[in-house]
Structure 1
Amino acid sequence: MELNSYKVKKSQRVIAVVLAAAVTGVFSALVADTLKVITEHYEEAFLENLRHNRYLIFIIPLIGLTTIHLLRYFLFHNKANKGIKEVLDTINKNAHTLPAYKIPSHYFNGLLTVIFGGSTGIEVSTVVSTAAIGALSSRKVSYLRKYRTDLVCAGLAAGVTALFNAPVAGFLFAFEVFTRRKSKLHTAAVVTAVLSSYLITRFFFYKQVFHFSVTNWRTEALPYMILLGVLAGLNSVYLTKCVLFCKKFFGSLQNDYARIIGGSLLISTMIFFVPNLYGEGYEGIKHVFRQADAPTLAVILPLLVVLLLKPVATSVTLGAGGDGGVFAPSLFIGAFLGLIVCVVLNHYFGLGLIPVNFVLIGMAAVLSGSIHAPFTSIFLVCALADNYILFIPIVIASLVSKWVAAAIFPYSVYTYQVKQATGGQVATVPQPRP
């Protein structure tokens, strides 16, 4: 009798967790999709105004960063958003670092950062907001508290799914970056949230981000795709080091106004001379795809300038108080890197490589090296391409990139922490994973 009672209670709790995950997935999709739609609308409006008056750029980032600072001070408990670290602390340290106010905090700060020119994306803002939805759902029912990690992962996986219409990438992101739990209940919760989010997005918000045609790839191009993977790993480390340096530098500034004014001026100056650095950069990627149709050596210098400045612009944005991460910048950098490699190889060696293929492979490879999550990157870019024709070369380049990046610098921006040691030295330690 007691055994039957235990089984009934266990099954009830399983059903409760799965239902909570489904609700989390729905609300996460609504948060992610509305943030995506609103951001895209206002980013396009601001860019249109900048085409008529370029000098507006010298006040736009300042307005955005100042507004974020004021919102934090007056509405959001005067606590800075720490991005993915907040989610990792919640999972790994069993800490209550995702209160309900983190949902609007990251939502609005991510929106304001991107539409006012901050050179990053809304992905991390979305991930933390949707993870906070999962944490909130675990607090609403007492016996769900022990399943907080499952619901937090369900929320963040649903957020990534909604942003990119990529359910497999959403599931793998939770597994590769946050927790590697293999329990059936954990898997069921994440899968349920991902499916709920996917259905909401697919039927009510779906819009293909990029439009391009991938038809085939040749096996003789594989060595050059491996070369692209190596270069992507190097660029990933460059991006990571830039972000860590700027966060440390701006964090050392005691005066908030000096940080905001100095950061916004640097962002404005870079965007004034290189407009493709504005916002998340998806317009820049579309421009790269257009150039990929008929690439010439003349495009190399502008592409190289963008390739070198994008990590700096992203890092300054985050260091100066913007809300975001390295998802969109990595895709942006990878697209430019892929086109550069293809054009150079075709021009000097007459290889006849397909530019669009290298653009896509570069996107996946740089993202893989930046977040140390190759399988997330593989399925995310395949979802963006809306086909799996390049699956094998994307897998190879992404794994090579992650290996190269980890060999040079074994931390991503998510797993790196700075601790003051005796003698004033700085030690780096990775975040643990259960």
Structure 2
Amino acid sequence: MKQRVKALYDLPFNYLRNKVNRIQYIMIVASLVGLFSGLVAVLLKICVHFIEEKVSEIPFSKFSYLVFPGVGLLITVVIVQKFYGGHVEKGIAMVLQNIARRSSFIPIKHTYIHVITSSVTVGLGGSVGLEAPIVATGSAVGSNMARIHGLNYQERTLLLACGAAAGISAVFNAPIAGVIFSIEVLLSETLLSYFIPLIISAVIGALCSKIILKEEVLFNFVLKENFNYNNIVFYILLGVLCGFISLYYAHVFKKVEHRIHDWKLNIYFKAMIGGLLLLVIYILFPTLFGEGYDSVKLVANGSNRILRDNTGLFSLIRNDWAIIIFVGAVMLLKPIAAGVTIGSGGNGGNFAPSLFVGAYLGYFFSKLLNTTKWFDIPTGNFSLVGMAGVLSGVMYCPLTAIFLIAEITNGYELIIPLMLVSSISFFIVKHFQPYSMETKKLAMEGQIFTHKKEQNILTAIQLDNIVKSNYQTISIDSSLGDVVDLVKRSEKNIFAVIDQEEKFIGVLELNDVKKEIFSPELFDTMSVRQLVKRPADIVYSDETMSKVMQKFDETHSWYLPVLSKEGTFRGFISKSKIFEKYRQIIADQHDLYEN
């Protein structure tokens, strides 16, 4: 059945392959990727919106909805445990790792699993966003479409980025931001020819949301005040605050997530505890419930209706100061709520929470200044610019942040403060942390591409693919006569010496035993134990290629033995083989328009 369906699918595309050139064919596939990724993003938004509406219509007590985040976490955990082996790679880090380590092949399950789990997590009140699941899903769509159409690694990576661009474009109705995001976050190296398929995918993704989604579901704003250059000093101060709040967000989120994730508890019980923690947080600060985009719209419009006081505590404080204290507390608690949601087993990302924190930071800063009666700065504009500043600092994507806010405000009136605040925030976080919180561990381990070209090429080289395993071994208890017999049967001039348990002991090089093998009287009296030597260094099968090259540089060797973690000999790796693979990768990195 599968073969028949595939044959029917391939029929029109095989016809197209013969009618159009390679570039035109890639554009056609990019259009399909944009369509499917955009539709999936729209589907996810519709699902979450539908679930949120049904939860809000439940006719119980005023606090009954607060139990649903725990239910969402529990359902998500059950789905992952029962149907996906207890673990699912999540977020943007998963996409980056697949680009670098798995030749841009993303398993097909990622085209739907994030839609299911994140819609349950976020729709029922998890305090995270949908953008990371949408990026993961769109990237999986692009990767699998490229695989089906038999495209190479470079083209797969491009279509993977097209899927992500379409997803971001659809969820925000912001095609430029979608293109910039893919270039800035996913593609460590971008050629000019990449822009056309990325633009095509992003535009189609935006059209999907524009045509299907209702206006209230889309995330957009109308500016109430124009940019005033007299406020430039305050925007600079806001940029500094955004940088340090971004560092705070990253530190607190990762700490909370890891602390809960590392609890030695039953996974279902952990989800229930996470739901209970969210319930307590939401009772005190109900605006932290769910994605929070409705709350962000109020903040960005400068509304005072954001103060939702379930406890009555804030009614004891004069109104303006009550709002300031409430907004400041919500801003600082958002990364905790997001960390609890993810650490307890939920699926979501930090894109929406960072926008949320940025909006509240901008509102807090402007409201605080205005309350002193010495200043009068627009809270709405500062909230919007704060969103860009914190998004830039948390996700390490300043250009995406600038164009995203510019697009959702339907113009470029705030482009100057957006550029200023995002740049300052990004500069501060890069000074303290060279990698984002989601990619730091993988980048340090050489598991993903960075913006260092040489490092990326080495990361793309898989150790298993260049290890020469056709080397013979010899026992340490063998005699010199056995060595001579081995040399006669082998074309190699280096051999691995192993013990009785087949553990690696050392190496035996032909150059070191030339004199001995021409002395027949030593064949029975001299053993390998007397001839073996320790190698200059040892490479283990789980080491990165950067580490391997470092060992070659330090030892000045051309061959090094490769062992498994258990000490079993796997083969030898040669520096010349690495150089050959390195040159091949550079040669494969060509412009799409080159023949």
What is the TM-score when the length of structure 2 is the normalising length? Answer: 0.66
Q: CA deviation at 1:132?
A: 0.4
Equivalence for 1:432: 449
Deviation track 1:135-180 (CA, whole Å, cap 9, x = no partner) reads 1101112245551101100000110000001111000000111114
Residues matched between the structures, number: 419
Q: CA deviation at 1:349?
A: 5.7
Equivalence for 2:207: 199
Contact 1:81 1:106 in 2 (8 A): no
Return the structure number with greater relative CO, CA threshold 8 A, min gap 6.
1
How has the CA–CA distance of structure 1 residues 251 and 170 changed in structure 2, closer, same or farther, with 3 Å as cutoff?
same
1:261 to 254, 272, 281: 272
1:214 corresponds to 2:224: yes
Larger Rg over CA atoms: 2
Contact 1:89 1:97 in 2 (8 A): no
Deviation track 1:251-293 (CA, whole Å, cap 9, x = no partner) reads 3234313421221111111012111011000121133245547
2:33 to 24, 48, 53: 24
2:69 to 61, 69, 72: 61
For 2:441, what is the secondary structure of its paired residue? strand
Q: Which AA in structure 1 matches 2:370?
A: N
The residue correspondences of 1:350-365 to structure 2 (distance < 5 A) are 350-365=374-389
The residue correspondences of 1:211-290 to structure 2 (distance < 5 A) are 211-254=221-264, 255-289=266-300
For 2:84, what is the secondary structure of its paired residue? coil
Deviation track 1:115-141 (CA, whole Å, cap 9, x = no partner) reads 111101111111101110001101112
* Mean CA deviation greater in 47-56 or 146-155: 47-56
Equivalence for 1:37: 46
How has the CA–CA distance of structure 1 residues 51 and 228 changed in structure 2, closer, same or farther, with 3 Å as cutoff?
farther
1:333 to 357, 360, 364: 357
Q: Which whole-Å CA distance do the structure 2 matches of 1:40 and 1:372 have between them? A: 28
Deviation track 1:382-433 (CA, whole Å, cap 9, x = no partner) reads 12211211111111001111111222222213322179xxxxxxx7878433
Q: Which whole-Å CA distance do the structure 2 matches of 1:307 and 1:408 have between them? A: 21
Larger helix share, 1 or 2:
1
Q: CA deviation at 1:52?
A: 4.0
Q: Which whole-Å CA distance do the structure 1 matches of 2:190 and 2:286 have between them? A: 45
Contact 2:73 2:346 in 1 (8 A): yes
Q: CA deviation at 1:239?
A: 1.4
1:309 corresponds to 2:333: yes
How has the CA–CA distance of structure 1 residues 429 and 359 changed in structure 2, closer, same or farther, with 3 Å as cutoff?
farther
Q: Which AA in structure 1 matches 2:169?
A: T
Contact 1:415 1:430 in 2 (8 A): no
Q: Which whole-Å CA distance do the structure 2 matches of 1:99 and 1:273 have between them? A: 41
Q: CA deviation at 1:51?
A: 8.2
Q: Which whole-Å CA distance do the structure 1 matches of 2:65 and 2:337 have between them? A: 18
* Mean CA deviation greater in 293-302 or 30-39: 293-302
Q: Which AA in structure 2 matches 1:368?
A: S
2:322 to 289, 298, 301: 298
Deviation track 1:89-119 (CA, whole Å, cap 9, x = no partner) reads 1212234662111121100111011111110
Q: Which AA in structure 1 matches 2:267?
A: D
Q: Which whole-Å CA distance do the structure 2 matches of 1:183 and 1:9 have between them? A: 26
Gaps of at least 5 residues in structure 2 are 1-16, 306-318, 451-455, 457-595
Gaps of at least 5 residues in structure 1 are 1-7, 420-426
1:373 corresponds to 2:397: yes
How has the CA–CA distance of structure 1 residues 289 and 49 changed in structure 2, closer, same or farther, with 3 Å as cutoff?
farther
Q: Which whole-Å CA distance do the structure 2 matches of 1:51 and 1:214 have between them? A: 38
What is the TM-score when the length of structure 1 is the normalising length? Answer: 0.90
RMSD between aligned residues: 2.4
Equivalence for 1:4: none
For 2:406, what is the secondary structure of its paired residue? helix
Q: Which AA in structure 2 matches 1:74?
A: K
1:158 corresponds to 2:166: yes
* Mean CA deviation greater in 147-156 or 42-51: 42-51
Q: Percent identical across equivalent pairs?
A: 31
Q: Which whole-Å CA distance do the structure 2 matches of 1:268 and 1:240 have between them? A: 23
Q: Which AA in structure 2 matches 1:285?
A: V
Q: Which whole-Å CA distance do the structure 2 matches of 1:203 and 1:127 have between them? A: 21
Q: Which whole-Å CA distance do the structure 2 matches of 1:154 and 1:291 have between them? A: 35
Q: CA deviation at 1:348?
A: 2.2
Q: Which whole-Å CA distance do the structure 2 matches of 1:22 and 1:399 have between them? A: 33
